[in-house]
Structure 1
Amino acid sequence: MQARVIDGFGDGDVFETREVETPEPGPGEVRISVAASSVNPVDYKIRRGDLPDFAPAFPAILGCDVAGTVDAVGEGVSEFEPGDEVYGMPGGVAGSPGALAEYTIADADVIASAPESLSLPEAAALPVVALTAWEMLIDKADVGPEDVVLVYGGSGGVGHVGVQIANAVGARVIATGSTEEKRAISEELGADATVDYTEQSVEEYVDAHTDGTGFDVVFDPIGDAHLQTAFEAVRPYGRVATTESSSTQDLSAMHANALSLDVVLAILPILQDERQARLGDELREIAALVDDGDLEPLLDERRYGFSEVGEAHQRLEAGEGVGKIVLENDL
């Protein structure tokens, strides 16, 4: 089969198209004829060498997200059969080749039937960001109708899903955005109000949206300085959920206000090859939200083929994309 591979870390031009052996599904696995993938920050960070412990062995096939059609099933697989349209997060990290190929192998536990209301390229935009947002809001923060939730980057990859999931469970949602366009997108997706954090201080928007008491939950898929402001924006005994905790932070506000901090790494079950069944369960819940009209992927205006993956990475790295950047299989 044809695949896009990298032989080492580097810039977007390190990808090459190469003939590689078509994988065979083992026990508990399915082979997927890949229709599409999408780009996540973890993909370009692996490609650059920022996360060497997460990288597949060279020559590496990247791409954590996948949507496609089941082509073959391994021994013991009964929930899927050839012809089923599926989506999920099969690999693209250490120990598990990714989706940038004609075919990929997935453990049956880490995929689910694709949402019926989406095309496969649209479905490919969801797995990593939707699993991340679900785990942050539902598994960790246990968000419910009584909560006021601050979502950082409400038009971003993880953020736009966070806005919709929080809205779907009945929470009041306030989303941040640096431009009028981004804030308008958040409101279209269900945010009750938005914040221009480049103009308003934390104290100002806490006063405006919580009467000065602080948000029940701060949803932070950005990290760095945003994580520090989250400790200022959340109420005493409140919850902060983040995907980025490698930066140095002053935790004194956490101690002073008895805050909880939860960190989510959605790909960890793939890296550790354990606790994978919950991914499939969550993907089914996410598909139901989509088909009920409560969640839709926000797609960047630019579409790329697998042959253009380097350009797609560069667009996301430069912060030029809005929503998810989809990659369609043109191999």
Structure 2
Amino acid sequence: MQVQQTREFGTPDVFEAAEVALPEPGPGQIRVRQIASSVNPVDTKLRAAGPAIAPALPAVLGCDVAGEVDAVGDNVRRFVPGDAVYGCAAGLVGRGGAYGEYVVVDAELMAAKPANLGWRETAALPLVTITAWEALVDRARVVPGDHVLIHGGTGGVGHIAIQIAKAQGARVATTVSSADKAAIARRCGADETIHYREESVEDYVERLTGGRGFDVVFDATGGSDLAKSFAAVRVNGQVVTIVSQYSADLTPMHTKSLTLHAVFMLTAMLHGVNPAHHAEILTKAGGLVAAGQLMPLLDERRFNLGDVGAAHAHLEAGAALGKIVIDIADEARNA
């Protein structure tokens, strides 16, 4: 089969085409004929730095899987060849990556593809949807009436988080950097938008909450937004972050009696902690898709399997608006 692999970690031009043996599924695994995948920030970080969680070199990267079951291993009961599936199940240490024509994955991480969603949209969903779900539903337990602030509402995770929070019955505010992005955030369901370059935290907290603060703040961007999150949340409120690999002053947590959640959705794959829950999340997400409550935003640029390096460069340049999809098979390339 054809793959895009790297023999060293570094810049996006490290990817090269290669032909490798077709992998065989082991017990509890399925082989998926890949139709599409996507590019996430974690994929670029694995390619650039090769941390301990990266596959061994030569490495095939790519976490998001979307395709048809081609073969099943022993003890697999949920899927049969021909089933359309999706999941975040590849591209880490000890696992093949999704940037290839086939990939072997653990069946328990996978869910049935949403019937009314195209392959390109399906490939865009797994990692970002699981991340947003774990943050807002599993950790913060957002309920109807909660006032939720999402930093980075047009990002890959952020635009999905808006939709999940709305599906939970929340009132949603989000930060944006332009009028165009504010319009996109509102199309995703945001009730309120904040031009963070033009309005201070104190001002928008006063304007939108009467100075009380938000019930839940979701930091999907990192950096200084964690401090802004502490400033924006109410007393006894909750902050969830997905980017916390830096030092931060936690004093405001103490003075406001806050709860801080750190979410890294790859933990289930890395440590084997309740991986089946990811399939449960994606199954529920499929229900939201069917109900018209969830739809990914796709970047307008198109990339094929041979363009993985260019797709990574596009994401790292900050030029993408929406998820970057890799079209692998004809079902995606011709969509």
TM tier relative to shorter chain? over 0.9
TM-score (norm 1): 0.98
Partner of 1:188: 187
Instruction: Name the CA distance, whole Å, in 2 between partners of 1:173 and 1:298.
Output: 18
Partner of 2:282: 283
Partner of 2:28: 28
1:45 matches 2:18: no
- Partner AA of 1:242 in structure 2: T
Give per-residue Cα distances to partners, 1:217-273, cap 9 Å, x unaligned: 001111110111000000010000110111211111000000011011111111123
Give per-residue Cα distances to partners, 1:152-208, cap 9 Å, x unaligned: 111110000000000111100001100111111000110001000000000000001
SS of equivalent to 2:93: coil
* Identity between Structure 1 and Structure 2 (%): 50
SS of equivalent to 2:283: helix
Aligned length: 330
Give ranges in structure 2 of 5+ residues lacking alignment. 331-335
Partner of 1:62: 61
Partner of 1:93: 92
- Partner AA of 1:327 in structure 2: I
TM-score (norm 2): 0.97
- Indicate conservation of the 8 Å contact 1:167/1:173, yes or no: yes
- Indicate conservation of the 8 Å contact 1:221/1:242, yes or no: yes
Partner of 1:209: 208
Partner of 2:263: 264
Partner of 1:151: 150
Give per-residue Cα distances to partners, 1:9-57, cap 9 Å, x unaligned: 11111001111111101111100000000000000000001x5112100
- Indicate conservation of the 8 Å contact 1:36/1:66, yes or no: yes
SS of equivalent to 2:226: helix
The 5 A counterparts of 1:107-256 are 107-256=106-255
- Partner AA of 1:76 in structure 2: N
- Partner AA of 1:142 in structure 2: R
- Indicate conservation of the 8 Å contact 1:30/1:71, yes or no: yes
- Partner AA of 1:195 in structure 2: I
Partner of 2:6: 6
Give per-residue Cα distances to partners, 1:279-315, cap 9 Å, x unaligned: 1111111111111110001101111111101111111
- Indicate conservation of the 8 Å contact 2:36/2:329, yes or no: no
- Partner AA of 2:71 in structure 1: A
SS of equivalent to 1:71: strand
- Indicate conservation of the 8 Å contact 1:95/1:271, yes or no: no
Instruction: Name the CA distance, whole Å, in 1 between partners of 2:153 and 2:202.
Output: 19
- Indicate conservation of the 8 Å contact 2:142/2:165, yes or no: yes
- Partner AA of 2:10 in structure 1: G
How many Å apart are 1:98 and its aligned residue? 1.2
Instruction: Name the CA distance, whole Å, in 1 between partners of 2:169 and 2:273.
Output: 32
1:104 matches 2:103: yes
How many Å apart are 1:330 and its aligned residue? 5.6
Partner of 1:314: 313
Instruction: Name the CA distance, whole Å, in 2 between partners of 1:291 and 1:242.
Output: 28
- Partner AA of 1:24 in structure 2: E
The 5 A counterparts of 1:73-92 are 73-92=72-91
- Indicate conservation of the 8 Å contact 2:3/2:100, yes or no: yes
- Partner AA of 1:174 in structure 2: A
How many Å apart are 1:274 and its aligned residue? 3.4
SS of equivalent to 1:150: strand
Instruction: Name the CA distance, whole Å, in 2 between partners of 1:167 and 1:278.
Output: 21
How many Å apart are 1:146 and its aligned residue? 2.1
- Indicate conservation of the 8 Å contact 2:25/2:31, yes or no: yes
Cα RMSD after superposing both structures:
1.0
Instruction: Name the CA distance, whole Å, in 2 between partners of 1:303 and 1:297.
Output: 15
The runs of at least 4 consecutive aligned structure 1 residues that moved more than 3 Å come to none
Instruction: Name the CA distance, whole Å, in 2 between partners of 1:82 and 1:325.
Output: 28
Give ranges in structure 1 of 5+ residues lacking alignment. none
